[in-house]
Amino acid sequence: MEDRAGSLDRRTLLRLGALAAAGFGGAGLVAACGGSSKHGARPSAPLGRPSTTVVDPSLPWWLRGDFAPVAKEVETFDLRVEGSLPKELAGLYVRNGSNPKPGWSPHWFLGDGMVHGVMIEDGRASWYRNRYVHTTLLAAGGGLTAKGAPGGAAGLSNVSVVHHAGRLLTLGEVGFPYELRATDLSTVGSYDFAGRLKGNMTAHPKIDPVTGAMHFFGYNFAEPFLEYHVADRDGTLVSSQPVSVKAATMIHDFAITERDVVFWEMPVLFDMKLAIKMVSEARSTVMPYVWKPAYGSRLGVMPLGGPASAIRWVEIEPCYVFHGMNAWRAGDEVVIDVCRLQKVFVAGAALGLPPRLHRWRINTNGPNLGFRDEVRSDLDADLPSIDRRYVGRTYRHGWRVETRSTPDDVVLAGAVHIDAQTGTETRWDPGPQFSSGEWLFVATGPDEAEGVVMTYVYDHAADTSSLVVLDARDIGAGPVARIALPQRVPYGFHATWVPATAA
CA separation for the pair 454, 95 (Å, rounded): 11
Amino acid at 227: E
pLDDT at 334 over 50: yes
Q: Which residues pair with 326 in a beta bridge?
A: 337
Q: Which residues are CB-contacts of 173 (< 8 A; sequence separation ≥ 6)?
A: 109, 155, 156, 159, 202, 203, 250, 252
What is the pLDDT at residue 37?
Answer: 38
The helix/strand count (H/E) of the chain reads as 4, 34
What is the pLDDT at residue 54?
Answer: 53
- For 427-445, what is each residue's pLDDT tens digit? 999 999 999 999 999 999 9
What is the pLDDT at residue 501?
Answer: 87
CA separation for the pair 483, 413 (Å, rounded): 18
* Residue 146 confidence class, pLDDT cut points 50, 70, 90: low
Q: Which residue has the higher pLDDT, 311 or 146?
A: 311
What is the pLDDT at residue 163?
Answer: 98
CA separation for the pair 375, 298 (Å, rounded): 18
- For 69-128, what is each residue's pLDDT tens digit? 999 999 999 999 999 999 999 999 999 999 999 999 999 999 999 999 999 999 999 999
Amino acid at 202: T
Q: Which residues are CB-contacts of 357 (< 8 A; sequence separation ≥ 6)?
A: 325, 337, 338, 339, 340, 375, 376, 377, 379, 381, 384, 400, 418
CA separation for the pair 192, 61 (Å, rounded): 34
pTM comes to 0.90
* Stretch 238-264: mean pLDDT: 97
| Strand intervals (E) in 220-319 | 226-231, 237-242, 254-256, 260-265, 268-270, 289-291, 297-303, 312-316
pLDDT at 226 over 70: yes
CA separation for the pair 156, 144 (Å, rounded): 8
Half-sphere exposure of 281 (CA within 13 A, CB side): 13
* Stretch 221-249: mean pLDDT: 97
Handedness of CA 219, 193, 169, 445 (dihedral sign): positive
Q: What's the mean pLDDT when you consider all of the chain?
A: 89
pLDDT at 41 over 60: no
* Stretch 374-401: mean pLDDT: 98
pLDDT at 482 over 70: yes
Lowest mean pLDDT among 72-81, 177-186, 283-292, 446-455: 283-292
Domain extents for the chain?
10-499
pLDDT at 28 over 60: no
C-alpha distance from residue 250 to each of 5, 9, 254, 265, 270 (Å): 42, 47, 12, 8, 7
CA separation for the pair 303, 310 (Å, rounded): 7
Lowest mean pLDDT among 56-65, 163-172, 312-321: 56-65
* Residue 282 confidence class, pLDDT cut points 50, 70, 90: confident
Give the percent of the chain with pLDDT over 70.
88
Q: Which residues are CB-contacts of 43 (< 8 A; sequence separation ≥ 6)?
A: 402, 413, 427, 429
SS3 assignment for 224-246: CCEEEEEECCCCCEEEEEECCCC
Asked if residues 279 and 351 have their Cβ atoms less than 8 Å apart, the reply is no
What is the pLDDT at residue 147?
Answer: 61
Closest CA to 318 of 336, 338, 300, 291: 291
Q: Which residues are CB-contacts of 118 (< 8 A; sequence separation ≥ 6)?
A: 79, 92, 93, 94, 125, 127, 128, 467, 483, 485
Instruction: Estimate to the nearest angstrom the gap between the alpha carbon of 141 and the chain centroid.
Output: 27
Give the percent of the chain with pLDDT over 90.
81
Asked if residues 405 and 382 have their Cβ atoms less than 8 Å apart, the reply is no
Instruction: Estimate to the nearest angstrom the gap between the alpha carbon of 169 and the chain centroid.
Output: 15
Q: Is 195 left (phi over 0), alpha (psi -120 to 50) or beta?
A: left
Asked if residues 108 and 156 have their Cβ atoms less than 8 Å apart, the reply is no
* Stretch 309-323: mean pLDDT: 98
What is the pLDDT at residue 110?
Answer: 95
Helix axes 25-32, 10-19, angle to 10 degrees: 160
What is the pLDDT at residue 58?
Answer: 87
pLDDT at 130 over 60: yes
pLDDT at 298 over 90: yes
Lowest mean pLDDT among 44-48, 141-145, 151-155, 282-286: 44-48
* Stretch 270-292: mean pLDDT: 91
Q: Which residue has the higher pLDDT, 3 or 373?
A: 373
What is the pLDDT at residue 29?
Answer: 30
* Stretch 138-163: mean pLDDT: 89
